Structure 1
Amino acid sequence: MKRFITFLLVFIWGLLAFSQSHDLSGKILSEVNVENIHVINKTQQLFTTTNALGEFTIAVKLQDTLVFSSIQHKPQNVVISESVLKSKTLVVTLEEQINVLDEVSVGKTLTGDLLSDIENTTGEAPINFYDVGIPGYTGKVATQSERRLSQANGEGVAFKTIMLQVLSLNVPVEPILNAISGRTKVLKQHVALEQKSALLHGVKVKFSKMFFELHPLDEDKQNEFFHFCEEDDRFVAICTSNNDLDILQFLEKKYEKYLENLNN
């Protein structure tokens, strides 16, 4: 009888030990970048991201399913076994995600024979500013709204605008008129909206699939949810921080608030 009770106590203790959450330390191995890989405990609805060395820590229980995913890697699932739980360590090797495009032939097919290929080509090579020895712009191309804002602020002002001055103080008139009329303010708002829209698109592309696996939401509500997040004053600051964990935590809090608003 005593042996049976002892066995029963040990059995119960073992069940309790494995049913509790334990912090699991892990490391991602890959031939490409291992930072900011999403580590998701799908069973307990927990998530974290890897650091620059591919290391992470997350709470797990026996038989929990961990999902590893990123844009650069193929998704991989790992079920927590007794051996992993005892060692409290996990090493996962991820394969690079290679997007292979269908072969496309553009223009005439080249044979490898230089003289023959030259005879088969048509048109002239484009001339750039390097060819003619003049300086040229190699930076980021501005959007239409950014160019309009630049002009409204007096950058790159035309000759006729430069000639108009206020009381011989050598001050261009156009920026002053734009500021008084409110045109500059409107253009700044257009630029900010464009940047915010591009940021929102990037967040949707990067996080949608993974986030809605953990936080189910009807497809017709998902786009509305992201616009709900966009209205938050902290959206731009958080989503430009390049910290995936901060973005995920922000989305999770907004998700709870969004569901609360739907229920109300």
Structure 2
Amino acid sequence: MPTKKLHTLFLLLLAQVISAQTTNEKLLIGKIISNDVAVEKVNILNATTGKATVSNELGIFNIPVKIGDALVFSAVNLETKRRIILEEDLSQERVLIKMSERITPLEEVKVNQNPNINAENLGIIPYGQKKYSPAERRVHEATTGSGIVPLNPILNAISGRTTMLKKEVQVEKKERLLLQLDGWFEEDYYVNTLKIPADYIKGFHYFLIEDTDFVRALKAKNKTLTQFLIKGLALKYKDSLLVEQK
């Protein structure tokens, strides 16, 4: 067959392929929302064909597509979204596209630009003075006094007030540990990895802060060590639950 005829035949076949691809296209109608609110002026690009459009004030758009086309949705204040067109998309009257707001991280704000300036440097408190929590301060006041025979500590000891205040200090420390532990691991980690029922996670927290090694790792913010310890403690906690349920 002459070369000219082969070239003509190739062009005819190519035209048929292009025509078939175009015939398979369908007008996709969709609506774009963000936080349940319609979004206008979102750019929609069919990355496969190069065709593009923009959503209107109601968030509505339409663009020719076929199965397998890749659509790219972008806007200045939204996270870019990509979607591959499936057969089910073409069977719907309107496709709903949900987009998320773009979060711009703020620069670190330094509250104290002069860390060397503090209450000690300004002479407000003496150098090296111990800093007490509210509960620790009450214990300190109850166990110290003035004069030859400090009556305040003696009276508090007799009345039992000192013992009560010391218990408050322990409670306060445990509250700080619980606060630090809250959010240290995701709920999914407790439920799916450690197999702790969701209703028992808070109780498991109280169980954890009774373990000296775990508390030491938690205070040191050693996540690797706490993950190692928590697996063994989870087994002990679940065993204790089984005993209580019998």
Which TM class, normalised by the smaller chain length?
0.3 to 0.5
The structure that has the greater radius of gyration is 2
Larger relative contact order (C-alpha < 8 A, sep ≥ 6)? 1
